[in-house]
Amino acid sequence: MTDLVATLLARLGDGLSAARDPARAAAMAAYMRDQFDYAGVAAPALRAVERAAFAGLPRPAEADLRDFALSCWSRPEREYQYAACDYLRRHVGVAGAGFLPVVRTLLTTKSWWDTVDPLATRFVGDLVRSHPVLAHEMDDWSQDENKWLVRTAILFQLHYGGATDTSRLFGYCVRQAGHPDFFVRKAIGWALRQYARTDPESVRAFVAATPALSPLSRREAMKHL
């Protein structure tokens, strides 16, 4: 572990300890179906802890980014994983194409929407935009057995707007239209609804031409159309 990563973890640990709220922690854990432990630090306070932890430190190398993220994922409190997501997003430009296996580990470990979605829509999205060769990996993820990788593939272009590869977006949605999991069906609707901000007519036409879409996906896609 480098000095930078050690400093980040120590600062983050100190900040979370000072802001810890056991009563809030129990409520936060219950909201997440008791899947994770929490320190009980609400989002605004966590952002303040992160600002203090990240302040004045040098730009990380890719190895620092990897080690910090994996170290945060190994800690029991969920706030560490949130901090890792924010740090990754802040320094996505440091990561090369070879970083994707690290992200895969994060997406498939301690998986739930609260970490998968920021990683998918911000970090993976920006990583693929910077390294277009990774789009082929998204093709593989879109048909993976792991639902969180499928969700990530569907959502990685969420903020691409006019740069969206619609053949991929619509193709993934068709491929997983009958997926049994709520989070995949919801992701289809969310991705289509977001793209409808850019091209509403193409989304209307796609939904009309794709009867296999679940009612949930269809309803979410058409919410503002």
Spatial separation of the C-alpha atoms in residues 207 and 211, rounded to whole Å: 7
Whether 187 and 124 have beta carbons less than 8 Å apart is answered as no
Whether 4 and 69 have beta carbons less than 8 Å apart is answered as no
Phi-psi region of 45 (alpha: psi -120 to 50; beta: other; left: phi over 0): alpha
Backbone phi, psi, residue 77, to 5°:
-75, 130
Helices (H), the chain: 3-19, 22-31, 43-54, 62-74, 78-90, 100-107, 113-118, 125-130, 135-141, 147-155, 166-175, 182-195, 200-208, 215-221
Task: Give pLDDT < 70 ranges for the chain.
Answer: none
Q: What letter would DSSP give residue 37?
A: B
Residue ranges of domains in the chain, CATH in brackets = 1-94 (1.25.10.90), 111-225 (1.25.10.90)
- Between helices 78-90 and 43-54, what is the axis angle to 10°? 60
Residue 1 pLDDT: 87
Residue 16 pLDDT: 98
Backbone phi, psi, residue 59, to 5°:
-60, 135
Task: Give whole-number Cα distances, 35 to 40, 66, 80, 112, in Å.
Answer: 14, 24, 15, 9
Spatial separation of the C-alpha atoms in residues 152 and 125, rounded to whole Å: 9
Which residues are bridge partners to 37 per DSSP?
77
Task: Give whole-number Cα distances, 203 to 17, 22, 156, 191, 208, in Å.
Answer: 47, 46, 17, 10, 8
What count of other Cβ atoms lies within 10 Å of the Cβ of residue 58?
Answer: 8
Spatial separation of the C-alpha atoms in residues 170 and 144, rounded to whole Å: 17
pTM for this predicted structure: 0.96
